[in-house]
Each structure stands twice: as structure tokens, then as C-alpha cells.
Amino acid sequence: MALRYLTAGESHGPALVGILEGLPAGVRVDPAEVSRQLERRRLGHGRSPRMQWEADRLEILAGVRHGLTIGSPVAMVIHNTEWPKWQEAMSVEAPADPDAVRETGRGQPLTRPRPGHADLVGMQKYAYPEVRNVLERASARETATRVALAAVARGLLEAVGVTVTSHVVRIGEVAVPEEAPRPGPGDEQAVDADPVRCFDAGVSGRMQERIDRAKAERDTLGGVVEVLAHGLPPGLGSHVHWDRKLDTRLAAALMSVQAFKGVEVGDGFRSAEVPGSKAHDEIVAEEGAFRRATDRAGGLEGGMTTGETLRVRAAMKPLSSLTQPLRTVDVESGEAAEAITQRSDVCAVPRAGVVTEAVVALELADALLDKTGGDSLDEVRRNLGAYIDDVRARQL
């Protein structure tokens, strides 16, 4: 593993913290671009009203000088603008008057775990008497840190001509047709301009209507996002061991995002429905290079990139915080109850697409550095260029 990262912080704590280690020196880092990526994470029809008052205030603390990485770990903080409201309830020090904290409403014990959330099993695992300590870290708020760190890693990818984008292909039962056009490297703004980040305007309208209906029914919706990476060279990843396969690493990264329950590469599950003659991509020679005639494999074969567009999909379940709560048990009394209600989105799939872009970008940057090595961006470029030249020479 060439690239490593850590995140820390709670949903209502003072800040989120991230460290990214392993980037070569010379990668351009623009705080405004990192902040823009954080803003993209807040997009989407179906968001809760909290997006109107919560904001992400970024501060880069280490690893960057004069706008360029210096080869040491990059450290950043995303300050929580809502912290003053939660300072007493989330203080690291024992409160002098616990009853006063509870009176704010934020210190009230949460003893009715939500079905489908980490609440109950987290309480059981860590011997907590209530849910607060679980939901604070299990919250998808943590993904803001990964989006910010990935914005730095994207600088490395873009420096060698690799772009990563995403779009929503399903919300509930409303889906984009399989034959519909997919966004290209320059279509990010067009996707983000759509209220549900769908590249098909007609389907987008139906998705928005479905979200509005779910809101009226006090329910939530999940969906599917597709992540595309353009400009990848062949040979990132490896076939020689299970944990070096790029599809292994991408699947783990995508499944690590809160509320995601399934991943497929290329045609994925659909490929199980057809014979082999219709499941694989035939190889052709075009202008002195070997190419695939179709994209059924999603740009990955044997755990390695093929040089074609990488295409992965991930399925997100409906959020478990409902305004019409499901049945649960009050762990304090042992009696039947309704689950706690937290501020939540009706549908978080559009913004989740930005998070899936982030974790894919982090894995691709890691795989690139595994292949090229290099302590500086110039060295990475030089090594990658020599490798690509060698591949091309062998194809002529």
C-alpha cells in the first residue's frame, strides 16, 4: 500500500480530522478546490433542511507549502460550524452538572436504537448504555473527511490525465435505461447541475417525483450510483494475490461508505444471466493498440485495469432515520418502543455519489503509486510514461 489515510471525529464534535500519507511531492493542492468538492457532497434533491445552516470550514495544517505537497503527510481539519450548540453535550470533560446538559435536549440518553443502523450492535459491542457514542462516529458525516482527502489525491490523478466522475442511475424503482449515454470526462458540471445528479433529464424528473412522494409518505429511498474513471493506463492492480486485485480494493472501499450494501464491476450481476459469448469483451487492434470492443468487464480484468474506462456501481439502502419511526425496543426499560428520530435526508443517493467518487479516487491513486513509485510528481510521470511507452512498443 503506497497511500494511506486516517479519519477521526464525531458528527457533532468540534471538527473532523484527516491525514493522507504517501503522496509524492509536487502535487498541486488548491484549498478552494477541496472546499468545492465538499460543497458537491451537499448536493441533491431530498436533502434535509440541515444543509441550509451547516457548513464545512476547511483548514489544511501540514504537508502542503505554497500550494504543493512536500512529500510528508497531508493533515487537514474540517471545523463543525454547529459545534457551539453541541459543546456541552459533546465535551471531552466530565460535566459539572449532568442534569443541566440533559436539559438542553442534546444530552438526553438515546435508548431506542434504530433498525438498520449501527445503534444496537454498537451498544452491545462497546457496552454503552445508550446510542449517542455509536451514532456520532457511525454517521455519514465522517465521509466529508474522505471527500476532502480525495480532493488532494485527485490532484495526482489529474496530473497524469485520469478523471473520476459519478452519476445516479437508480433511485428506488426509477432507473436509467442500460443503453443510456454515460457522462464523459468533461460532464461533471452537467451532472452536478441536475437536482439528483442524473445524466438523463427525463429519468431525473421521475426520480425527483419519487423522492417527493417518499417525503410525503414520511419514508426514505436508496438507489445506485455509477462511478467512471477515464484515462487509466492498463495494468494498475495485480492478478498475483487476492488483496492486490484492484476490484478487491475498490469493492472494499465502496462497501466502507455508510449505508452501501452492494457493489458490481462493469455488467456485474447482469453478466451472470447471459452465456459467456455475451459476457466478455472481445479484443481488437485499433491504430496499433489493443482495445476491447465492448465494456462489459467495466475496465477491469483479472484484478487489473485494461486501459478502458473503469466502471463500477454501488447500491445504497434507504436511510434508517425515518420521521415515521420503525418498531424497536427501549434498551433501558425493555419495553416495545418507536426508534429515535434524528435529522435525516429523504434520499442521500445524489450526494453519496460524490463520496463514492472520493473512495474510488483514493484507491486509484494508491494503485497508481504502487505501479510507478516515485517521491515526486515528476518521477511518477516519468516512470508512468516509460511504462506506457513500453506497453505501446509491445503492441506494434
- The string of pLDDT tens digits covering residues 163-187 is 999 999 999 999 999 999 999 999 9
- Element of type H or E holding 357: helix 349-372
- The Cα–Cα gap between 221 and 322 comes to 10
Q: What pLDDT sits at residue 89?
A: 83
Separation CA 369–CA 23 (nearest Å): 8
**pLDDT band at 50, cuts 50/70/90?**
low
Confidence of residue 303 (pLDDT cuts 50, 70, 90): very high
Residue 240 has pLDDT above 70, yes or no: yes
pLDDT at 48 over 70: no
pLDDT at 289: 87
CA 135 – CA 106 distance, rounded (Å): 13
377 closest CA partner among 385, 150, 96: 385
pLDDT band at 101 (very low <50, low <70, confident <90, very high): low
Residue among 300, 319, 187, 313 at smallest CA distance from 255: 313
**pLDDT (mean) for 80-105:** 76
| Rounded-to-integer distance, Cα 166 and Cα 356, Å | 8
Check: CB of residue 72 under 8 Å from CB of residue 178: no
Give, in degrees to the nearest 5, the angle at Cα 37 between 35 and 41: 110
Cell for 307? Answer: 486501459
Query: Where do we find the cell 417518499?
Result: 214
- The residue length of the chain stands at 396
Q: Residue 327 corresponds to which cell in the numbers above? A: 418498531
Position 41 pLDDT exceeds 90: yes
pLDDT level of residue 10 (50, 70, 90 thresholds): very high
Task: Give, in order, the Cα–Cα distances in Å from 176 to each of 196, 198, 221, 225, 357.
Answer: 12, 8, 16, 11, 19
DSSP symbols for 129-142:
SSSHHHHHHHSGGG
pLDDT in the model for residue 105? 63
Phi-psi region of 324 (alpha: psi -120 to 50; beta: other; left: phi over 0): beta
Q: Say if residues 382 and 390 touch (Cβ distance below 8 Å).
A: no
Report yes or no: 76 and 70 within 8 Å, Cβ to Cβ.
no
Specify the higher pLDDT residue, 81 or 65: 65
Contact in structure between 63 and 73 (CB atoms under 8 Å)? yes
Q: What is the DSSP letter of 25?
A: B
In the chain, % of residues over pLDDT 90: 83
pLDDT in tens, 323-364: 888 999 999 999 999 998 877 789 999 999 999 999 999 999
pLDDT, position 92: 81
Distance CA 241, CA 358 (A): 25
Q: Please give the mean pLDDT across all residues of the chain.
A: 93
Q: How confident is the model at residue 26 (pLDDT cuts 50, 70, 90)?
A: very high
CB atoms within 10 A of CB 99: 8
Reported confidence tier of residue 322, pLDDT bands at 50, 70, 90: confident
pLDDT in tens, 111-169: 999 999 999 999 999 999 999 999 999 999 999 999 999 999 999 999 999 999 999 99
CA distances, 394 to each of 198, 251, 289, 291, 372 (Å): 40, 31, 9, 14, 19
What percent of the chain clears pLDDT 70, i.e. is strictly above it?
95
pLDDT range class, residue 103, cuts 50, 70, 90: low
**pTM listed for this prediction:** 0.94
Q: Express each pLDDT in 203-213 by its tens digit.
A: 999 999 999 99
